Homo-oligomer: A and B are copies of this chain.
Amino acid sequence: MESIESDTDLAGKIEKRISESTIRRLSLYLRALSLLDKKGVKTISSKELASREKLTPAQVRKDLSFFGSFGTRGLGYPVSELRSEIAGILGINRIWKVALFGVGNIGSAMVSYKEFARQGFQIVKLFDNDQRKIGSNHKGIIVSDVSNLEPEIKEAGIEIAIIGVPATVAQYIVDDIVAAGIKAILNFAPINLKVPSDVYLRNENMSMELEYLSFAMVNNHSEKKTKP
């Protein structure tokens, strides 16, 4: 197993400077600023931005200070400019070509999810191993055979792969994707995938937020019962 490592090493290099939580908050700020920008709001204070995201103004100022000096004391941050700056920091001021593996329910939802394209993540290739799906047109994209992924990925200039296949086959497909040169993978399969140390891997756990809700309800419930 010596040649197979997690994505910790490379991620570690970045995290020394910017923590994962900061990156998550930048995504939140970006979304909030995009909504404000669409509404025509010109400036926002760190206090307002913090209150929208249930954070402290100090936290917002600290996160943004990482990247240089934004905004003017007393006037707040310019919404559109700050939005562009954060988009640049997150690397989404450009187009990323994305391939999706597994045209099942999750896969279909991802193809139709308009937010991705708005953020610059363009799903341009679909792959499946089901002969009934291969060759069919799915939201304007012809489904390709996963057994021949390498030339198609290279030709299309794919840089990110989304894994929407069942857990039982996910590792085999990921091995092929990595062999084809992909360095960034978003995984929806409920399995711990192994990738080389120069490949970034993120896992999407759809149950996590629901589990947070059930935790909150169960704990609030018992608090109410124990503290009359």
Report chain B residues within 8 Å CB of A185: 213
Interface residues in chain A, defined as those with a beta carbon under 8 Å from any beta carbon in chain B: 6-8, 10-11, 13-14, 20-21, 23-24, 26-28, 30-32, 35, 52, 54, 89-92, 96, 98, 104-106, 108-113, 115-116, 119-121, 159-160, 183-186, 190-192, 200, 202-220, 223
Q: Is B89's CB under 8 angstroms from A215's CB?
A: yes
Report chain B residues within 8 Å CB of A223: 13-14
This protein's copies in its complex:
2
Q: In the bound complex, what is the Cα–Cα distance between A10 and B217 (angstroms)? A: 10
Min CB gap A51→B, angstroms: 8
Min CB gap A64→B, angstroms: 15
Q: Is A213's CB under 8 angstroms from B160's CB?
A: yes
Report chain B residues within 8 Å CB of A159: 217
**Known interface pairs A54-B6, A106-B109, A216-B184. Does A202 touch B209 (Cβ–Cβ under 8 Å)?**
yes
Q: Is B52's CB under 8 angstroms from A205's CB?
A: no
Q: Is A186's CB under 8 angstroms from B213's CB?
A: yes
Q: Is B216's CB under 8 angstroms from A116's CB?
A: no
Q: Is A109's CB under 8 angstroms from B115's CB?
A: no
**Known interface pairs A11-B216, A14-B219, A215-B90. Does A186 touch B204 (Cβ–Cβ under 8 Å)?**
no
Choose among B7, B10, B120, B211 the residue that contacts A30 (Cβ–Cβ < 8 A).
Answer: B211
Q: Top 4 nearest A-B pairs by Cβ distance?
A: A91-B218, A109-B109, A105-B112, A91-B214
Q: Is B220's CB under 8 angstroms from A91's CB?
A: no
Report chain B residues within 8 Å CB of A213: 160, 184-186, 200, 202
Report chain B residues within 8 Å CB of A90: 211, 214-215, 218
Besides A115-B207, A116-B206, 9 new A-B residue pairs in contact (Cβ under 8 A), listed by A number: A6-B54, A26-B211, A90-B218, A91-B219, A104-B112, A119-B210, A160-B210, A202-B210, A202-B213
Report chain B residues within 8 Å CB of A183: 217
Choose among B32, B98, B113, B217 the residue that contacts A200 (Cβ–Cβ < 8 A).
Answer: B217
Q: Is B191's CB under 8 angstroms from A35's CB?
A: yes
Choose among B24, B106, B208, B214 the residue that contacts A113 (Cβ–Cβ < 8 A).
Answer: B106
